[in-house]
Amino acid sequence: MKSVLITGCSSGLGLTTAVTLAKNGFRVFATVRRLDKRDDLDKALADAGTTATVLPLDVTDEAAISATVAQILAETGGIDALVNNAGLAIGGFVEDFTLAEIRAQMETNFFGLVALTKAVLPSMRQRRSGRIVNISSIGGRVGNPIIAPYVASKFAVEGFSESLSFEAELFGVQVVLIEPGAYKTDIFEKNRRIAAHALDPSSPYAAIMSKVEARVNERVAKHAGDPQVVADCVLHALTVEKPRLRYLVSTNAKVMANVHRFLGFGVYAALVRKVFRWPELAAEVR
């Protein structure tokens, strides 16, 4: 059985991916930030008639990362695949973010991913085999309002992964980026946060923030897809003989990426402004 370490498995894409890989013959080590948040994962595994080893792991804790990887290596002799999925999303206008909030976004979405990658790479390099799947986002390709730090973290993941792919291939290790659009997961519900000052009456954006947030929720509800599609893409990336570097997942992600790439930023920006009714909001803040 090939062993796979997956982060952020208490809900959403991580949970669905853990169950999918376990059902398909992988020895899954599913990590959650807190063990008291594992109930949904345990139930999903039981319902699917499969099992996984559930471990606590905060991806912002370097000591915990080292200990967890060492434990898995001791049990298995080698980690065949790493799925960096743990993430959070913080919404708000840039002025309303504290630097601490932006750093927290980067610590989880980017530096945690880097730390885990560095922790598993030595064993993969020595065995000259392994796959690292990084869950990015359409936000790693294009910008959108009120999620600038999240987008920045995913742009960082994209650049890091593309650069790493050249280095890793020298030792038979393959790097893959999965770029979902909006999916029905807790990152847009329980795990989505709002910048501390976003709704503060003193904020110049307070009056329009609630309206923008409502439109985001409306878009997510209307266009969000089934996270199983993303999990199936991860399964494909781990089992196909020669995976691609990038996999765009979902129709909305492909449309956004293609408009941005082939029609240019001007056309893409016009569509974003239309979707968010930007002219109306601009009139309110003048």
Kindly list the catalytic residues: 150
Alpha-carbon distance of 141 to 253, in angstroms, equals: 10
Give the end-to-end CA distance of the chain in Å, rounded to a whole number: 61
Nearest alpha-carbon partner for 175 in 108, 250, 257, 237: 237
Strands 81-84 and 130-135, by their bridges, are parallel
**Residue 31 is which amino acid?**
T
Alpha-carbon distance of 154 to 143, in angstroms, equals: 10
Dmax (CA) for the chain in angstroms is: 62
CB 278 within 8 A of CB 272: yes
User: Where do the H-state alpha helices sit in 28-185?
Assistant: 39-47, 62-76, 99-106, 112-127, 148-169
Alpha-carbon distance of 177 to 140, in angstroms, equals: 10
CB neighbourhood size of 148 (10 A):
19
